[in-house]
Amino acid sequence: MKEEMVIVLDFGGQYNQLIARRVRECNVYCEVHPYTISLDEIEAMHPKGIIFTGGPNSVYGADSPQCAKEIFTLGIPILGICYGSQLIAHLLGGTVETAPTSEYGRTEVTVDASAGLFAGVNEKTICWMSHTDYIAQAPEGFTITAHTPVCPVAAMEAADRNIYATQFHPEVMHTQEGMKMLYNFVRQICGCSGSWKMDSFVETAIEQIEQKVGNGKVLCALSGGVDSSVAAVLLAKAVGKQLTCVFVDHGLLRKQEGDEVEAVFGPDGPYDLNFIRVNAQQRFYDKLAGITEPEEKRKIIGEEFIRVFEEEAKKIGAVDFLVQGTIYPDVIESGLGKSAVIKSHHNVGGLPDYVDFKEIIEPLRDLFKDEVRKAGKELGIPDYLVYRQPFPGPGLAIRIIGEVTEEKIKMLQDADAIYREEIDKAGLQSSVGQYFAALTNMRSVGVMGDFRTYDYAIALRAVETSDFMTADAAELPWDVLKKVTNRIVNEVKGVNRVLYDCTGKPPATIEFE
């Protein structure tokens, strides 16, 4: 299965999973491991190549992450990126210094197209730079294979020892020929045949789950969204009826969504699952009463979810494992990598400190949304589920600014249902990345039927995005917006104004809280 694996050694950069993803796009299996992993452990995995990631440190820093120099004698091809490239230079006798001119963003790099990494790459090519240090002098035995006007060693190689390094980031989209470079590394230099396919992720994940779970009982937190649906079907394939899916209706779902989820995963649906629906609406409303701070809402909902699961687990008896559909953007935005906390994604940062399960299984933790969708298709999950709109775990609570009340939930459910219906009617549902209504905490004066109103404003959001980590506001047709506005103010009691959110991410986020 994994006879062709490339490993990524994580030195703390932002794009570590992206590197792994790009390698997988070259049809080569790839795993990310911490830089602290031992040489014995590396050898035991028999990788065909090793990639050192970037990272925020300076190689000379007191606590800078390092690895044993002997890694270069294992005979495994190595590619160092950014910090990784500087580390190679540092460990092998080159010089790394603070660059007189830092480079950030798009940069034209001149490459030596005869170098192994740059076969087929244009001599002048746009790359993404992000560095304050640079390699001032390459180690002995290395050839400089790329430069910029201010960066003398933008890439270097010691082809006879199979060691390669780039100061820039080939893994990001902005490096126009980055995929070619990574392809050259994994397929030509490492000699991988590229026999791995996405369905091998499914097979591998199933094997790993089988091994981990053994005869144990598993509980899956199912929300009906893409991620948890894919996680549930994956688990069902691996452990069959040892799995019970628990769907907590926290009363913060979209209109009629609870019944829709039950129709798909319940006893009348296409899957042969143990399915339990827990109607815990009131319990969540009570806990959220009077709470206005977004992170507090998220933590309360995350904690309450786990408590409900624990209770269900006790009823089933002897449940060891909890499965969650956490995906990679949830992990990094919750600040569990090196990045700052943006928001505590429910399932990750929203977890309470103490969780009463032997282990949490998160089989999709390293995947991006579109990879999860691919896996969902491999598993035979129908398109209408695989391409569902993302919906956050804390649900409408984070689309209602300020205190959550039953009255506000009803208002928002109705407005959101109208918005989605009109987007569907206009045939825009698959061309917009994500769209939803939010209830602002703003009340303003209006006039309806000669009477003064003092009601809430609904905000409409629609974004173009593929990875949900960055997004642009979608330019929805004006006639659709007008229709939605008319219907919302006429049909939803308590709303007298509709606003459209024109902000991208960054600087905003997709959700409002």
Nearest 5°: phi and psi at 137?
Answer: -140, 125
Pick between residue 182 and residue 231 the one whose CB is nearest to ligand XMP: 231
Cβ-based burial of 273 (10 A; exposed 0-12, middle 13-18, buried ≥19): buried
In the set 90, 346, 373, 461, which binds ligand XMP (CB under 6 A)? 346
Name the minimum Å distance from CB 428 to ligand XMP: 17
* CB nearer to ligand XMP: pick between 148 and 324: 324
* Least gap, CB of 296 to ligand XMP (angstroms): 14
Nearer Cβ to ligand XMP (173/448)? 173
Write down the residue that tokens 């659709």 correspond to: 480
According to CB under 6 A, which residues from 453 to 472 bind ligand XMP? 468
298 within 8 A of 269, measured Cβ to Cβ? no
Count of residues near ligand XMP by CB under 6 A:
17
The total of other beta-carbon atoms located within 10 Å of residue 441's CB is: 13
Shortest distance, position 270 Cβ to ligand XMP, whole Å? 24
197 binds ligand XMP (CB under 6 A): no
Among 177, 333, 362, 422, binds ligand XMP (CB under 6 A): 333
User: Looking at beta carbons only, is 356 or 501 nearer to ligand XMP?
Assistant: 501
The strand pairing partners of 423, in sequence order, are: none
Among residues 90 and 343, whose Cβ is nearest to ligand XMP?
A: 343
- Residue 441's SS3 state is strand
Nearest Cα to 22, choosing from 226, 177, 212, 207?
A: 177
> Which residue has 């590394």 as its token pair?
185
Proportion of the chain in helix, strand, coil states, percent, rounded to 5? 35, 25, 40
Q: Which of 217, 345, 374, 420 binds ligand XMP (CB under 6 A)?
A: 345
Binding to ligand XMP by residue 363, rule CB under 6 A? no
**Nearest CB to ligand XMP, comparing residues 88 and 364:** 364
Two structure tokens written together for 45: 């995995």
Quick one: which of 180, 131, 137, 154 has its CA closest to 13? 131
Nearest-CA neighbor of 481 among 448, 458, 454?
458
Q: How far is the CB of 392 from ligand XMP (least distance, A)?
A: 3
Q: Give the DSSP H or E segment for 34.
A: strand 29-34
* Stretch of residues binding ligand XMP (CB under 6 A), selected from 40-48, 173-181, 201-209, 341-349: 341-349
Q: Which of 82, 190, 220, 245 is catalytic?
A: 82
> If binding is defined by CB under 6 A, does position 299 make contact with ligand XMP?
no
CB nearer to ligand XMP: pick between 81 and 306? 306
CB of 510 to ligand XMP, least distance (A): 3
Interface with ligand XMP in residues 494-513 (CB under 6 A): 505, 509-511
Q: How would you classify the pairing of strands 451-464 and 434-448?
A: antiparallel
Q: Which is nearer to ligand XMP, 139 or 394 (CB)?
A: 394
State how far the alpha carbon of 495 is from the alpha carbons of 135, 372, 478, 482, 513, in Å: 60, 37, 20, 15, 20
Catalytic residue among 90, 131, 169, 346: 169
Q: Which of residues 375-394 bind ligand XMP (CB under 6 A)?
A: 390, 392-394
Query: Which one is catalytic: 103, 157, 171, 362?
Result: 171
Active site residue 169: yes
State phi, psi for 22 to the nearest 5 degrees. Answer: -65, -40
Residue 257 in contact with ligand XMP, rule: CB under 6 A: no
Which of 22, 254, 343, 365 is in the footprint of ligand XMP by CB under 6 A?
343
Under DSSP, the state recorded for 435 is E
CB of 395 to ligand XMP, least distance (A): 9
Shortest distance, CB of residue 456 to ligand XMP, whole angstroms?
21
Residue 347 CB, nearest distance to ligand XMP (Å)?
Answer: 6
CB of 95 vs ligand XMP, minimal distance in Å? 41
Distances (CA, A) of 212 to 158, 207, 328, 332, 361: 41, 9, 21, 25, 9
Q: From the list 95, 122, 281, 434, which residue makes contact with ligand XMP (rule: CB under 6 A)?
A: 434
Q: Give CA separation, 299 vs 41, 90, 181, 294, 375, in Å.
A: 37, 43, 42, 9, 29
Are the beta carbons of 30 and 7 closer than 8 angstroms? yes
- Residue 294 is a binding residue for ligand XMP (CB under 6 A): no
The DSSP output letter for 471 is B
Alpha helix segments (H runs only) across 346-493: 369-378, 383-386, 406-425, 478-491
Give the phi and the psi of residue 237 in degrees, each rounded to 5.
Answer: -65, -35
Q: Which is nearer to ligand XMP, 79 or 510 (CB)?
A: 510
Residue 203 vs residues 195, 206, 218, 367: alpha-carbon distances, Å: 14, 5, 19, 15
Does residue 365 interact with ligand XMP by CB under 6 A? no
Q: Which residues bind ligand XMP (CB under 6 A)?
A: 330, 333, 342-343, 345-347, 390, 392-394, 434, 468, 505, 509-511
Kindly list the catalytic residues: 82, 169, 171
